[in-house]
């Protein structure tokens, strides 16, 4: 019989981008990549697009320098166990967990991530609008930082390919890398559990997320995404932000040029997000975040998973 204390977990999602949430407030838990992959396995584990470990910034070596600005650090892992810099849907779910656990209230807070400190606003339930309120809970807005649009290298621009089709793509970095391709039909993306081709490979030495985008109307687009380390997911928050930034540049609506903020509605397979960019370049994402379950890992199973 295992002598390991039972470990609690929760399950949550943001526009159906789903996560296993593991509270480890004082940073005692050591989760290997293999353990994360097993927990996220949809047949042999809890299942999720990723795992969020909740830890105090002061207790995590990667976050201590941010502890004076953000009490909590989101230690985010992809479903294969690899480390990710940032997850936009995940940070909303992280904030919802803090609210549920009594560690944060409605209003403003900050959360540390590997991509830096993110400012969050948890709206009151009555304030939720346009797909933002779910289950009686208000929308969560995340200040996602500023997009970086790297210049093409000596090899030229970015190209995304699926089978014999290929498209030019926009290189957008939202704390993690994205290649955004505008297409005529989302079906052309094919089976996104297989990573699309991206050239030149040197532009993304650590891999990239790839978004396929179609227009739905004025300032309204829809997307599918292949997330590095996870395959196709129902939503990607940083991907939706990258799509909005790329669409605004394509449409001549760059706020830095026009001097006016701009918002796009971005439909993902799991729901709807509203993405805005201010003239200073700051990108904000608004959408739902839902906790659907909580429980405890079986101690014997956890012994096997953690090794």
- As beta bridge partners, residue 287 has 140
> Is 40 noted as a catalytic residue in this protein?
no
Alpha helices per DSSP H over 151-198: none
Phi, psi of 301 (to 5 degrees): -65, -40
The verdict on whether residue 190 carries a ligand-binding annotation is: no
Strands (E), the chain: 8-14, 17-23, 50-56, 72-78, 107-113, 116-122, 140-146, 158-162, 165-173, 177-182, 197-199, 209-217, 220-227, 231-233, 262-268, 271-277, 282-287, 290-296
CB 239 within 8 A of CB 90: no
Q: How far apart are CA 99 and CA 122, in angstroms?
A: 9
The verdict on whether residue 191 carries a ligand-binding annotation is: no
The verdict on whether residue 175 carries a ligand-binding annotation is: no
Catalytic residue of the set 236, 242, 253, 283: 236
User: Could you say which DSSP state residue 206 is in?
Assistant: T
CB 292 within 8 A of CB 137: no
The verdict on whether residue 237 carries a ligand-binding annotation is: yes
Could you identify the residue written with the tokens 């990573």? 195
The verdict on whether residue 209 carries a ligand-binding annotation is: yes
The verdict on whether residue 4 carries a ligand-binding annotation is: no
The verdict on whether residue 17 carries a ligand-binding annotation is: yes
The verdict on whether residue 89 carries a ligand-binding annotation is: yes
Catalytic residue of the set 10, 36, 46, 87: 87
The verdict on whether residue 211 carries a ligand-binding annotation is: no
The verdict on whether residue 88 carries a ligand-binding annotation is: yes
What string of H, E and C letters represents the secondary structure of 46-85? Answer: CCCCEEEEEEEHHHCCCCHHHCCCCCEEEEEEECCCCECC
Q: How far apart are CA 244 and CA 277, in angstroms?
A: 8
> Is 236 noted as a catalytic residue in this protein?
yes
Annotated binding site for substrate: 17, 78, 88-89, 176, 209, 227-228, 237-238
- Report, as residue numbers or ranges, the catalytic residues: 87, 236
Annotated binding site: 17, 78, 88-89, 176, 209, 227-228, 237-238
């Amino acid at each position: 019989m295992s002598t390991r204390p039972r470990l609690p977990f929760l399950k949550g999602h943001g526009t159906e981008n789903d996560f296993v949430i593991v509270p480890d407030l004082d940073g005692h838990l050591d989760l290997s990549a293999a353990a994360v992959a097993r927990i996220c396995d949809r047949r042999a584990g809890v299942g999720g697009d990723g795992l969020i470990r909740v830890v105090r910034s002061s207790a995590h070596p990667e976050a201590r320098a941010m502890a004076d600005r953000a009490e909590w650090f989101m230690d985010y892992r992809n479903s294969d166990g690899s480390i990710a810099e940032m997850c936009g849907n995940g940070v909303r779910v992280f904030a919802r967990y803090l609210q549920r656990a009594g560690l944060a209230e409605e209003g403003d807070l900050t959360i540390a991530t590997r991509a830096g400190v993110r400012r969050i606003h948890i709206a009151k339930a009555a304030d939720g609008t346009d797909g933002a309120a779910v289950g009686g809970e208000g929308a969560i807005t995340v200040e996602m930082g500023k997009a970086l649009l790297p210049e093409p290298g000596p090899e030229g621009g970015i190209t995304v390919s699926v089978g014999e089709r290929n498209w030019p793509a926009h290189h957008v970095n939202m704390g993690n890398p994205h290649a955004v391709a505008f297409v005529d039909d989302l079906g052309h993306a094919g089976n996104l559990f297989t990573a699309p081709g991206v050239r030149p490979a040197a532009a993304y030495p650590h891999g990239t997320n790839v978004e396929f985008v179609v227009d739905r109307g004025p300032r309204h687009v829809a997307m599918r995404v292949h997330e590095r380390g996870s395959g196709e997911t129902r939503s990607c928050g940083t991907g939706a932000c990258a799509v909005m930034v790329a669409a605004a540049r394509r449409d001549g609506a760059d706020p830095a040029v026009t001097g006016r903020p701009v918002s796009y509605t971005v439909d993902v397979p799991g729901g709807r997000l509203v993405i805005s960019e201010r003239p200073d370049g700051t990108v904000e994402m608004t959408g739902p975040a839902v906790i659907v379950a909580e429980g405890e890992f079986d101690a014997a199973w956890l012994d096997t998973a953690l090794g």
